[in-house]
Chains A and B, each alone.
Chain A
Amino acid sequence: MAKKIVIDPITRIEGHLRIDIDVEGGKVKNAWSSGQMFRGIEKILEGKHPNDAWFITQRFCGV
């Protein structure tokens, strides 16, 4: 029987990531990657002037 390990959150990254793995016999059998946040920046952009898109989308990320 596989053992389920949930790493939530993964650190030393930007943002919130959860990783689920099934481990059997000391090896990963299966894996799931899950992004734990919703931003909605694309929705904010609708109806805006295209010249403003660069500084709004810039706020996706500061890296």
Chain B
Amino acid sequence: MLLAHGLHDHTVHFYHLAALDWVDVVSALKADPKKAAQIAQSISDWPRNSVQEFKAVKEKIKGFVDKGRLGIFANGYWGHKAMKLPPEVNLLAVVHYLQALEYQRYATKAYAILGGKNPHVQNLCVGGVSTAIDPDDDSALNMEKLLEVKTLLDKIISFVHNVYLPDVAAVGSFYPEWFSIGGGVPNYLAAPDLYLDVNHSKSDLPGGTVVNNDVKTVKKIRNANDPYWRKNVAESIHHSWYKGAWIKHPWEEDTIPEYTEFDGKKKYTFVKAPRFKVGGKYVPMQVGPVSQVIVGFAQNHPLTMKWVGETLKRIPKQYRKPTILMSTLGRHAARAIRCAMLGDIAVKHWELLVNNIGKGDYSIATDFKYPDKEIRGVGFHEAPRGILSHWCIIEKGKIKKYQAVVPSTWNAGPRDGNNQRGPYEEALVGNPIADNNRPLEALRTVHSFDPCLACAIHLFDPKGHEINKVKVL
């Protein structure tokens, strides 16, 4: 389920939420479909890179533009000077944008078969899942359903390996300057995930920290019980709209909103500022695929090394070094790398599940009784946007305190008590802005983090419904 979710999320983020910062849809109209298809065929043997399909897509966009109805492409910085792709590569990206809409559906369907529906799966419970496994029962998870899941996974994995990853490398190669722009906070934090045993001693995704852009500083995090993780997290509200001005461990803090006007020197956001203690000092951390890939690379994690290698060899020689990951484009490359890794792991875990069922292991959950005394716990997971942790204090079987420290809080958080900027803020500093009325470059850097603010903030602003409004003061 987690793997189907990750495969879906990364693919949608690149094509539908971020690619249009780099791809000029309107310019695709000037493309020669035959040449565009040839370029596509030269970078991948994906069967749907035919001249016919490229021609059909070009006609479709022409229809939209001629009628002045761009639909989903209505808002975009088309014709911006920072858009550099040749028309043929723009067409290639638009063709794959539309194909990605189709393929993301397969990942979602696999997720829904396992979890009941998407989003908001229905079958979780403390200690496992509530979906029965029984090969002899039509209403339970049986081999027929598992084979359908495998067929769907194969489709999205093939898309990720043959389209998504090659496209990120191809588009990136036209913007090499963005391999050294937007790095920002030089510290990376990732959670291990996809465990192979109930004691969480071995996992398929690597976790840990790297600081100061130096892979030699790597420290492993083994699981959520690792003291290096449990002891070193804190959140600051010095610049957030909550009561007080402190930095506290998640079990110790509270969440009492206190809105004051936007003031960049004082308080200016509902997002708290999570920090991690390194060498006695609390520092900001970037989280997300870039952190997982850098932490894995630093540990010589074989699957990470395999896909970093596959990606680097697709970009021009002079840029072929892992340090390019520490940039705005690097975050996109790392997301594609992690997605390709998830593809390999999905096949492995599907086989593990089927083998277990073959041995007669139908267990789905472990029962758990809450003691009366106060207990404290933390669980984490490497979500598509990065490390997600929930910190909980339970007393007499009831929740006493609950604190979620989620990926976009780490990345979108503000300054802390020592005025250290958060990852979005730090990554923006130094970015070029060619046109103050159309700050495309700032969007590129912010979108590269894959922002998801609903989780980051713990009432909606009705003004939020305006689209793409840029106020120049």
Contacts and interface: CB of A to CB of B under 8 A. Distances in A.
Contact of B75 (A4, A10, A11, A37): A11
Contacts of B424: 19, 31, 33
B430 interface: yes
Interface in A1-31: 3-21, 23, 26-31
A26 B433 CA distance: 5
A3 to B, nearest CB: 6
Contacts of B280: none
Nearest to B240: A35
Q: Ordered nearest first, which 8 A-B pairs have the shortest CB separation? A: A15-B453, A35-B271, A31-B428, A62-B119, A34-B269, A45-B402, A33-B424, A15-B454
6 contacts: A28-B433, A37-B464, A39-B454, A60-B454, A61-B454, A63-B384
B464 A9 contact: yes
Given A8-B469, A49-B398, A61-B455, 6 more contacts: A10-B447, A26-B432, A28-B431, A50-B370, A53-B399, A53-B402
Contact of A39 (B120, B264, B446, B457): B457
A27 B432 contact: yes
Interface of A is mostly: mixed
Contacts of A29: 429
Interface string B103-120: 000000000000000011
A48 B270 contact: no
A38 B255 CA distance: 10
Interface string B442-473: 11001100111111111111011011111111
Contacts of A60: 404, 406, 454-455
Given A50-B392, A61-B455, A42 B434 contact: no
Interface of B: 9, 16-18, 20, 75, 119-121, 124-126, 241, 255, 257, 259, 262, 264, 268-271, 370, 384, 390, 392, 394, 397-404, 406, 408, 412-414, 421-422, 424-426, 428-434, 436, 439, 442-443, 446-447, 450-461, 463-464, 466-473
A55 B455 CA distance: 14
Contacts of B466: 9
A42 B403 contact: yes
Contacts of B259: 38
A48 B398 contact: yes
A63 B271 CA distance: 19
A3 B439 CA distance: 12
A10 B451 CA distance: 9
B455 to A, nearest CB: 4
A16 B469 CA distance: 13
B119 A39 contact: no
Contacts of A10: 443, 446-447, 451
A31 B406 contact: no
A39 B270 CA distance: 9
A36 B455 contact: no
A34 B414 contact: yes
Given A7-B442, A19-B424, A35-B412, A51 B126 contact: yes
Contacts of B257: 38, 40
A53 B378 CA distance: 13
A3 B125 CA distance: 52
Q: Kindly name the residue among A8, A9, A38, A60 whose own CB sees the greatest number of chain B CB atoms within 10 A.
A: A38
A33 B425 contact: yes
B430 A17 contact: no
